[in-house]
Amino acid sequence: MSTDLPVPDFEALFEGAPCGLVVTTQDGLILRSNRIFCEWLGFKQSELQERRFQTLLTMGGRIFHQTHWAPLMQMQGSVAEVKLDFLHRDGRTVTMLLNGVRRDHANGAFYELALFGTTDRDRYERELLSARKHAEELLREKTAVESALRQTKADLNVAYEKSQRRALFAEQMVAIASHDLKNPLTAIGMATDMLAQGERSTREAKLLEHIARSSNRAQRMIADLLDLALARVGNGIGVTHSAADLHEVVHGSVSELRLAFPDAAIRHQSIGMGHVELDADRIQQLVGNLVANSVAYGDPHQPITIISMLESGIATVSVQNWGSVIPGSAMGSLFEPMTRHSARDDEVRSVGLGLFIVREIAKAHGGDVSVSSDTAGGTIFTASFPATPSNGLS
């Protein structure tokens, strides 16, 4: 395909080439250099005329010229991408890439050299090298962090397993000790009852009463510790469901609690009717723990109200007292084990498991427990669970 566009003459191409062009004799005498080569080195073209090419190089460049690229030009007639350092007129170093060929003419051999600036290329290479170093550093850091994380995770797993074993061992020891203490305490209680039946002096009667109360208190604590061990070591507190009237179960508990806490005014209200499937002993334990909590925290001059209710398929037992309002900061830990919010040190004091066991009993019946506390309605603990009808009785 031909074109009619005019092509610049060779003189214009030589002078205006986007690279440095130099023609020398074999011994390096510069015969011709183009404008851009002279600009790169800060010389006029006339100043380079008849000057030897190697004198424009740095000392290292001259050595390299003498030992490497000049011999190559002699032997193979060309060199490609030889990196040389030139001296600028102001003394700074200018690096260029040299491509050259030797051409033989009738009046001798000449070197035709093309030179390319490396500023952009050097900057790109430096940036590339810097990026590579940075990437390698990041990779090393990432590898070190991952290794540290793996080691930390392994250490945490070991520590967690040790803590689990220690906690399990401690809970098992609590369960064993609590179980072994039940029999001697029961024997103490029975012996106290038998001794109290005889004729006793006033002082002896008070001592026996004190022993009985202390024994009952210790038995309650041991029962709570055993339930804690069951909840933690086993699969939760066990319940045995049977047909029962919720109101009668709660009423039976109230009768016993009135004897246990003679100074407390305990009231019971029932709403709705029906037999349900529940564990009567556990429900009575739930009521007892809530009442004991109300005695510990409530206003002793105000009544404690227990409401048992069957409504819309839900069985509910609530206990209300008129003590101080529970602060919001304490709400989140009320039902946690070993948590006490009373400074009392009498027969009401416990090891802080009462509300925890209330929650576990409610959960064992398929329900849960909640609490509200304000000046208008007092403090109300409510345990709710499904009121499953028993054998169709209602």
Per-residue pLDDT at 268: 94
pLDDT 10s digits, 183-204: 666 677 677 777 777 777 778 7
Rounded Cα–Cα distance for residues 21 and 37 (Å): 7
**Strand, coil or helix: 355:** helix
**Strand, coil or helix: 358:** helix
Mean per-residue pLDDT for 74-87?
90
| Residue of higher predicted confidence among 386 and 108 | 386
pLDDT 10s digits, 38-71: 999 999 999 998 899 999 999 998 998 888 888 8
pLDDT 10s digits, 321-358: 998 898 888 888 888 876 665 544 444 445 577 888 88
Cβ neighbours around 59 below 10 Å, total: 9
Would you say residue 301 has pLDDT above 70? yes
Rounded Cα–Cα distance for residues 81 and 17 (Å): 18
| Residue of higher predicted confidence among 205 and 247 | 247
Class for the domain spanning 124-232: mainly alpha
pLDDT 10s digits, 115-140: 998 877 777 777 888 888 888 888 88
Q: Provide the pairing of β-strand 304-311 with 266-271.
A: parallel
What is the homologous superfamily of the domain 10-117 according to CATH?
PAS domain (3.30.450.20)
Per-residue pLDDT at 163: 75
- Fold held by 237-386: Heat Shock Protein 90 (3.30.565)
Per-residue pLDDT at 371: 93
Per-residue pLDDT at 233: 56
Rounded Cα–Cα distance for residues 316 and 309 (Å): 5
Domain boundaries defined on the chain = 10-117, 124-232, 237-386
Per-residue pLDDT at 349: 46
Per-residue pLDDT at 139: 87
Rounded Cα–Cα distance for residues 202 and 224 (Å): 33
pLDDT 10s digits, 224-246: 666 666 666 556 677 788 889 99
Q: Which class for 195: exposed (0-12), middle (13-18), buried (19 or more C-beta within 10 A)?
A: middle
- pTM of structure: 0.49
Q: Provide the pairing of β-strand 108-117 with 20-25.
A: antiparallel
